[in-house]
């Protein structure tokens, strides 16, 4: 594709630079929001697991002089059960925050193009296409120094794809943690109709359900296949999950193995260098 004429490029470039800067500013802030929610969810999950394991073994504990106090085990178990529900609700709240952060990142990744507005006395650019044949990418011209707009988009897509994959894992883990509190709850999610939201309604209405549907509808990078996800969410409802398994779950929450943090930092540095005019690394 040929680059546009110098005059056209000079008019297009400031608008494209503004869109790219705004998009990556959103990407940065939403990554921070995700990280904050992730840290809080790990703390809530750790407290939830500790309570669940203590509650599991409460009946076999040697309570010493407290053993003869009337119904102390039942009262303690009931109190711990209420605390578990609160921690589970906190987990869901943080999951909602991460869904919103990812949705905002996805929207930002799609908002970098600068389209020429309809012909008029002044040439202007916007986020929405209005002139036939205008792809909004400046025909491949560099946005700042060397990188065309398509490279900024691909880098954003790569980043968003990591978070989308991690979100699928967090949904699986949330259902496993939920089974600690509600072992008889329906073990799968159904996103084909509104029945799926009922499993979250006791905590926060249908916010998470709406957010997931909205995110899935907009996603083009890694499609969140809810039918496949539903088939994979088979919990061991009749089995007692070992303590070690929950340690693995907590480690998975903490590490976020699907998010290559080194690559994320490389992408962020590459974009910053390009925007500031410093020599940039290769995108690959």
C-alpha span between 81 and 180 (Å, rounded): 10
Whole-prediction pTM: 0.78
| pLDDT tens per residue across span 123-180 | 566 666 666 667 888 888 999 999 999 999 999 999 999 998 898 888 888 888 888 8
Percent of the chain with pLDDT over 90: 35
Average pLDDT, the chain: 77
Q: What pairs with residue 142 in β-bridges?
A: 148
Contacts of 113 (CB under 8 A, 6+ apart): 16, 19, 127, 135, 136, 137, 149
| pLDDT tens per residue across span 95-119 | 889 988 998 999 999 999 988 776 6
pLDDT on residue 194: 42
C-alpha span between 82 and 88 (Å, rounded): 10
pLDDT on residue 179: 82
Q: Mutual orientation of helices 207-218 and 72-109 as an angle, nearest 10°?
A: 30
Percent of the chain with pLDDT over 70: 64
Q: Token pair of 56, please? A: 């599991």
| pLDDT tens per residue across span 9-52 | 788 899 899 999 999 999 999 999 999 999 999 999 999 999 98
**Are 27 and 103 a contacting pair, CB within 8 Å?**
no
pLDDT on residue 118: 65
Alpha helix ranges (H) inside the chain: 6-56, 72-109, 149-181, 198-204, 207-218, 226-232, 243-255, 261-276
Among 59-63, 152-156, 232-236, top mean pLDDT goes to: 152-156
């Amino acid at each position: 594709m040929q680059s546009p004429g110098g005059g056209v490029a000079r008019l297009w470039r400031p608008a494209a630079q503004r869109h790219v800067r705004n998009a990556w500013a959103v990407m940065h802030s939403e990554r921070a929001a995700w990280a904050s929610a992730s840290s809080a969810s790990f703390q809530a999950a750790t407290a939830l697991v500790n309570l669940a394991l203590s509650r599991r073994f409460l009946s076999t504990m040697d309570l010493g002089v407290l053993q003869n106090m009337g119904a102390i085990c039942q009262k303690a178990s009931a109190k711990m059960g209420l605390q578990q529900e609160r921690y589970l609700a906190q987990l869901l709240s943080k999951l909602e925050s991460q869904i919103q952060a990812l949705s905002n990142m996805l929207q930002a990744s799609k908002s970098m193009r600068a389209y020429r507005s309809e012909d008029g006395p002044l040439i202007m650019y916007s986020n929405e296409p209005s002139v036939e044949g205008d792809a909004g990418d400046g025909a491949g011209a560099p946005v700042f120094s060397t990188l065309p707009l398509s490279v900024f988009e691909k880098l954003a897509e790569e980043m968003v794809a990591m978070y989308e994959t991690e979100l699928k894992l967090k949904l699986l883990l949330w259902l496993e943690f939920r089974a600690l509190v509600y072992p008889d709850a329906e073990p799968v999610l159904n996103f084909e109709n509104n029945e799926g939201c009922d499993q979250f309604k006791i905590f926060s209405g249908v916010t998470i359900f709406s957010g997931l549907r909205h995110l899935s509808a907009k996603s083009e990078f890694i499609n969140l296949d809810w039918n496949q996800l539903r088939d994979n969410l088979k919990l061991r409802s009749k089995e007692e999950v070992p303590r070690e398994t929950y340690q693995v779950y907590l480690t998975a929450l903490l590490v976020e193995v699907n998010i290559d943090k080194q690559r994320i930092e490389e992408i962020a540095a590459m974009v910053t260098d390009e925007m500031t005019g410093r020599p940039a690394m290769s995108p690959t």
